[in-house]
Amino acid sequence: MLQIALIAHDRKKEEMVNFTIAYEHVLKPHKLYATGTTGARIMEHTSLNVHRFMSGPLGGDQQIGALVAQNEMDLIIFLRDPLMAQPHEPDIIALLRLCDVQGIPVATNIATAELLIKALERGDFAWRELVHKYKPGIDA
């Protein structure tokens, strides 16, 4: 079971809902996280159980970032709206930077999200299970 974050800017929320409907069978066995409204919309339209953090502008991106920093997130699908300025842009950039630091796969558009979900469906994320199995403790 992997830990997957689902985030979508306002104009991308419907796209995220449609994505989760289409791939509900792939996402179902995993632990899902989302920012506030995105998580609520996903749960309204699917049978997926989603742990909801705060809305992105209110700190939800940072809450997900904290899991990334601890290498406890395995995959992020973040449907960004590149044509709309976001008031919490520094938080978004920090989250993406943390994904790069920790080597966490992240999709920022539907095309890449499709590729990553297909890889998840094929079992190509087994390497993340090894990361969790051999993750050193704080005292290591």
> Cα–Cα distance between 58 and 73 in angstroms, integer?
20
| Chain mean position to CA 17 | 13
Q: Which amino acid is at 54?
A: M
> Cα–Cα distance between 120 and 1 in angstroms, integer?
11
Work out the angle at residue 7's Cα, subtended by the Cα atoms of residues 4 and 10, and round it to the nearest 5 degrees: 165
Picking from 128, 120, 7, the residue whose alpha carbon sits closest to that of residue 59 is 7
**Is-catalytic flag, 61?**
yes
Identify the active-site residue in 61, 74, 81, 124: 61
> Cα–Cα distance between 34 and 12 in angstroms, integer?
14
Active site members:
61
